[in-house]
Amino acid sequence: MQIRYFEKKQETIAVSDLKTLQLNRLKKTLGQIFAAEGFLKNKLVKSGLKSIKDIEKIDSLDEIKNLPFTSKIDLVSAYPFGIFSRPVKNLIRIHASSGTTGKPIIAGYTKTDIKIWSGLMARVFCAAGISKNDIGQNAYGYGLFTGGLGFHYGAEELGMMIIPMSTGFTERQLTMMQDIGATVLFCTPSYALFLSEEINKNVKDRSKIKLKKGIFGAEPWSDELRKKIESSLNIDAYDIYGLSEIIGPGVAFECVYKDGLHINEDNFLPEIINPKTNEVLKDGETGELVITSLNRDAMPLIRFRTKDITKLTRVKCQCGRTFVRMDKIKGRTDDMIILKGVNVFPSQIESVLFRPEYLEYIEPVYLIELYTENLLDKMNIIIEPKAEIFNAGESRVNSIANEISHKIYELVGVRAKITPVPPGTVERSQGKAKRINDIRKKI
């Protein structure tokens, strides 16, 4: 297996040197926040970190657990610029993501941030075996969303040609893909699946599609969906994780061994906590990912609550990278469905629906509807049988629906109603897929 790095020395740094680097960068980051005299400094002071002298006294990364968390709500309340640790005139770009209320969250970048971020993205490409000789079709949205420009600048940093398609215009995507000969595809996994359906329908000569690899993220996706994308596009598919508040895509990524996502640990310090008690968990325990930025210029954040559920492992990866790995994200704490006391994530439902034996009968799309019946919360899973199955009549469709319902019960322990709908009815997504429709009556 060919292993590539963008910055080998840094990516394979000895663990003890990494810890020293992280501690130095943490202290530098805290100093930067103090110097900015803003919202975040006030939070730190309130939590007991009163002066630069207190920062100097920190001599172990473990002490991070004494620092306060930062949440989306903090970022919304500091809207638009209160969270920055550099003057607004030093910024060269902003991005935004949706907040918890009407106001978005603004992420700001200086020239230094863009340079660092581009380098992190170039690491992602190299880890997937992509080189500057590849041609990237970038179907992540360009604009306030970090996907489009994050991938774009990373590709330029590597020296790879990029086709800046953005999302949508599917017909044009297929034309460019064939005419320019894209070898790698960047988009959400749900859009990759949609593109594969369109290729199968509309491209007569498959030899014109030169795709070899894809880097997909921005939403949870199961290994079953990975297999489906890989077989229908005939490519090798990699996961990438990130979030606007921290930098955008490039926080964590898969290498060719695809055994968890390496966190760019020289830039981001991860912790896993119990989201209910806030207690820090050990490696191997599942909980909420919390990230402290160690090398951000405009917008460092301390212990940011991502709400994403995963676990960490420090077992060394065969690729030689020393960076800790996190499991594929299971879901978000706010997407977790609780039915009869059982916790269910959409990704678990997906892992049943997208098993190869079911994908012979149903399309790889679904929507989970949560509703109330007799004061109880219930789950209805809308599936789309393939046209030939749907047309074969109700009894055929029902027997498949029953089997799926049974398998879901076996895996997650709750009974779900399965509703088959006519072909083409479930919305195909071009960005992040909507997996849950919550129509429960709020009491």
For ligand DLL, the binding residues (CB under 6 A) are 97, 140, 145-147, 217-220, 239-244, 248-249, 306, 308, 329, 332
**What stretch of H or E contains 370?**
strand 362-373
Q: Least CB distance from residue 384 to ligand DLL, whole Å?
A: 23
Whose Cβ is closer to ligand DLL: residue 165's or residue 389's?
165
- In the complex, least distance from residue 271 CB atom to ligand DLL, rounded to whole angstroms: 15
- Residue of minimal Cβ distance to ligand DLL: 217
**Min dist. Cβ of residue 146 to ligand DLL (A):** 5
Residue with Cβ nearer ligand DLL (144 or 280)? 144
Q: How far is the CB of 150 from ligand DLL (least distance, A)?
A: 6
Asked if 420 and 357 count as a contact pair (C-beta separation under 8 A), the reply is no
CA distance 318 to 3: 10
Nearest approach in angstroms of CB 125 to ligand DLL is: 13
Nearest CB to ligand DLL, comparing residues 34 and 140: 140
Q: Is 142 exposed, middle or buried (0-12, 13-18, 19+ CB in 10 A)?
A: middle
Helices (runs of H) and strands (runs of E) counted in the chain: 14, 21
- For ligand DLL, which is the closer residue by CB, 97 or 313? 97
Q: Which is nearer to ligand DLL, 44 or 158 (CB)?
A: 158
Q: Which long-range contacts (CB under 8 A, 24 or more apart) does 157-161 make?
A: 157/118, 157/119, 157/121, 157/122, 158/6, 158/122, 158/125, 158/126, 158/130, 158/131, 158/132, 159/132, 160/125, 160/130, 160/131, 160/132, 160/133, 160/134, 160/135, 160/136, 161/134, 161/135, 161/136
Instruction: Give whichever of 55 and 240 is closer to ligand DLL, judged by the CB atom.
Output: 240
Closest CB 169 distance from ligand DLL, rounded Å = 19
* Dihedral sign (CA 359, 363, 367, 371): negative
